[in-house]
Amino acid sequence: SELERQLDAMRQENERLKERLKSVSASPITPGKERVDESCKAQPTPVEKAKGRLFADLECIICRDLMVSPATLECSHSFCFKCIEEWLTAGNFRCPICRVDITRSPTKTLQLQQVLSTAIETHGDESEQSDYAARTKEHKVWEQRRQLDRTKLEDSIGSACQQGQQFLDIASRWSTDDRDRFQTGVSRHLSDAREVYCETTGLTKAWIQQAHRDQLDIAMRNLKIDLGGEAEDLPKPADLIRRRLLMMSRELVEATSFLDRDEDLLPSEDKDLLEERGEAAKSLGLRTGVTTDDL
């Protein structure tokens, strides 16, 4: 890949500079030459320039740091998996870079992670390596917590099924109490666990793609999602509904008007603001309750 070629070129240039440094160190230093050497020190070396370009290419636009466990969107832009999950959880359904609508979950990119690991190992200084290791450890803890939440919910759902409890059906009309109960339950879960919770009602990706227009309308009413008005640049209503339902499982905040949401945050939105929005959303944490408060 292009990044791997850059790494190889940097290694070769680094070796050439080492040889050059040895020859310079062995040569006698004159006053004039010393002044020239001091002037050269003020300029970044080719290796430093190449490292800067490489690290810039591997930077997550959300946290402004090297990506950790990178995940790629359908538009081909990549971010830290944790960063893009928090971006989606905060209700932002457009790519932070190109603003293209996000209709599928981010996909982890193992090859890019390998390039990142090689880059930080071969070209990162001690401080950079230590910082990256700490962020990687933090990310693993976050992923373990996500998996634990999903496992707990799956166990609760399995227990409810064994007890013969019935779940809501997304294709049937729900009462006001049913809609409120679902909103209360779904607001307590993030990412994978939230997706599992939605699946108990039959709200799966396959159902969304295959459902007829009247079924989609019923689902939107059940989930309290109001599309509001339409604009010329929006896709056909059925496509808009499908996209909105596909992202329902990624959104933490209560579903309200899709078109009235502020999705036009700048790509340079900093990490502190994202974390602030994420923590505010997490404060909604409730217990689950598709058909029972015990889930």
pLDDT class of 253 with cuts at 50, 70, 90: very low
Mutual angle of helices 213-222 and 237-246, in 10-degree steps: 50
Closest CA to 210 of 202, 222, 201: 202
Residue 172: its pLDDT value, please? 92
pLDDT class of 285 with cuts at 50, 70, 90: very low
Highest mean pLDDT among 48-52, 130-134, 201-205: 130-134
Mean pLDDT of the chain: 75
- DSSP-based three-state secondary structure for 80: strand
Highest mean pLDDT among 63-72, 96-105, 229-238, 246-255: 63-72
pTM listed for this prediction: 0.60
Residue 40: its pLDDT value, please? 54
Residue 35: its pLDDT value, please? 54
- DSSP-based three-state secondary structure for 201: coil
Average pLDDT value for residue range 131-160: 90
d(CA 227, CA 168): 23
Tokens of 116: 């990142």
CB atoms within 10 A of CB 210: 9
> Which of 239 and 119 is assigned the larger pLDDT?
119
pLDDT class of 126 with cuts at 50, 70, 90: very high
What domains can be seen in the chain, in order of their start residue? Answer: 2-132 (3.30.40.10), 149-282 (no CATH)
Residue 161: its pLDDT value, please? 86
Residue 186: its pLDDT value, please? 85
> Which of 56 and 19 is assigned the larger pLDDT?
56
Residue 185 falls in which region: left (phi positive, over 0), alpha (psi -120 to 50) or beta? alpha
* Residue 36 confidence (pLDDT) above 60: no
| Maximum Cα–Cα distance across the chain | 90
Closest CA to 267 of 119, 138, 94: 94
Closest CA to 123 of 57, 71, 61: 57
Closest CA to 122 of 209, 210, 41, 8: 8
Instruction: For residue range 161-220, list pLDDT tens digits in order.
Output: 888 888 899 999 999 999 999 988 888 887 778 888 888 899 888 888 888 888 988 998
